[in-house]
Amino acid sequence: MNRVITIVGARPQFVKASVVSRTLKTEGVAETIIHTGQHFDENMSRIFFDEMEIPKPGYELGIHSLGHGAMTGKMMVEIEKILGEDEPDGVIVYGDTNSTLAGALSASKLNIPVAHVEAGLRSFNRDMPEEINRIATDHISDLLFCPTETAIENATKEGLGLRSELVLSGDVMFDTILHFKNKAVHPSGVPTEDYILCTIHRQENTDNRERFLNLVQLLNNIAKKHVVVFPAHPRIKNMLSSVKLDNNIRIIDPVGYLEMVSLISNASLVMTDSGGLQKEAFFCKRYCLTMRDETEWVELVENGYNEIIGDDLEKAMDMVGVHYGNTIDNPLPLYGYGNASQVIARHISGNYEPLGDEKPGLPEKDLRSNLGCG
């Protein structure tokens, strides 16, 4: 592919696209970015493009604050127009958002090859909109970049390798952490040590009032002993304003990527329902408690780096006691060695050659020193 269109719309996609866009340019691939506007808050969108040096989008659709069907459909209408006029060689989509599915569907119906970065992930919970998006996207994509062996196995079991190319690429979010870790800046007015970093945003936790209140109680109990720093989306911040919070819970505005890396790296523990933050905690050698009933990042749980706590107050308190203040020593290379973006860009450009004697998609042995940013 010589010319591609990349479709992004949410924070995790900006993070992933930052390193891939840079490497595509190195490989001689011309890229145009479509920003759907799915995340419209300034701190969750524009700041990422600025501080991560992502090329300015060629198209900004401004589509947000709609239901799943309306949002996805409206995105498809606009994306289809652009693809029809631009006629790229391929389309790149990331992750599992409505923007991902809209981009993949639009390209597929126009017979434009689709490359899905972060393919093959499964939580096996069909109640999650993200699970539906990632399954559908995988099944209509032509090039599946899988970050882990487990993702390859999932895709293979679904027969995706029969019509699509499966590539064990490693995880581009690891590339990003390694590239930006020395530029991290701690947000002003926030403790620089001895705190728990917390985020909550998934529908399974916020649309169920009883579960949301259980999580608030859980955090209040933890805050009796530890400071909790909570960057909150505008919608979540509004929800939290209607409940009583312990004084040790510090609600702050959403932060940019460089500030988030600092918050993770200096935290004594991470608690989240975010898929991306689970991995970022691991990359920064921090233990994570996941406030969901399952995770697509099963290797983190299997190796003891991540504990699934759901909204279980008793388990949460126990796990905080076990992991608070500890760091991960000698982390396993679960997500590659930090050159996933090279693997992806070389496959897309047609310039791919194995980078060493490791498994396909993984780099030279000397890159193992990259493991961990903490």
Q: List, for residues 42-77, the tens digit of each pLDDT value.
A: 555 677 788 888 889 999 999 988 889 999 999 999
Q: Which fold has domain 3-168?
A: Rossmann fold (3.40.50)
The CATH number for 182-323, chosen from 2.40.70.10, 2.30.30.90, 3.40.50.2000, 3.40.47.10, is 3.40.50.2000
Q: Which helix (H) or strand (E) holds 116?
A: strand 114-117
Q: Which DSSP letter does residue 258 get?
A: H
CB 133 within 8 A of CB 101: yes
Alpha helices by DSSP H, listed for 64-122, are 68-86, 98-109
Token pair belonging to 122 = 């499964």
Token pair belonging to 178 = 């390694």
Active site residues: 201
Task: Give the pLDDT confidence score for residue 112 in this predicted structure.
Answer: 98
Task: Give the pLDDT confidence score for residue 104 in this predicted structure.
Answer: 98
Residue with tokens 């979540």: 236
Task: Categorise residue 138: left if φ over 0, alpha if ψ from -120 to 50, beta otherwise.
Answer: alpha
Cα–Cα distance, 92 to 76 (Å, whole number): 15
Task: Give the pLDDT confidence score for residue 359 in this predicted structure.
Answer: 46
Selection from 194, 145, 133 nearest residue 16 by Cα? 145
Task: Give the pLDDT confidence score for residue 51 in this predicted structure.
Answer: 86
Tens of pLDDT along the chain (374 residues) come to 999 999 999 888 998 999 999 999 999 999 999 999 987 665 556 777 888 888 899 999 999 888 899 999 999 999 999 999 999 999 999 999 999 999 999 999 999 999 999 999 999 999 889 999 999 999 999 999 999 999 999 999 999 999 999 999 999 999 999 999 999 999 999 999 999 999 999 989 999 999 999 999 999 999 999 999 999 988 899 999 999 999 999 999 999 899 999 999 999 999 999 999 999 999 999 999 999 999 999 999 999 999 999 999 999 999 999 999 999 999 999 999 899 999 999 999 998 876 554 444 444 443 444 555 55
Cα–Cα distance, 232 to 218 (Å, whole number): 17
Task: Categorise residue 338: left if φ over 0, alpha if ψ from -120 to 50, beta otherwise.
Answer: left
Cα–Cα distance, 254 to 187 (Å, whole number): 10
Sheet holding 3-8, edge to edge: 59-60, 30-35, 3-8, 90-94, 114-117, 143-146, 165-168
Collapsing DSSP to helix, strand or coil, 323 comes out as: helix
Collapsing DSSP to helix, strand or coil, 342 comes out as: helix
Is the pTM of the predicted complex or chain greater than 0.85? yes
Token pair belonging to 236 = 């979540």
Domain with CATH 3.40.50.2000 in the chain: 3-168, 182-323
Selection from 125, 107, 175 nearest residue 147 by Cα? 175
Cα–Cα distance, 34 to 156 (Å, whole number): 30
Task: Give the pLDDT confidence score for residue 354 in this predicted structure.
Answer: 64
CB 135 within 8 A of CB 119: no
CB 205 within 8 A of CB 292: yes
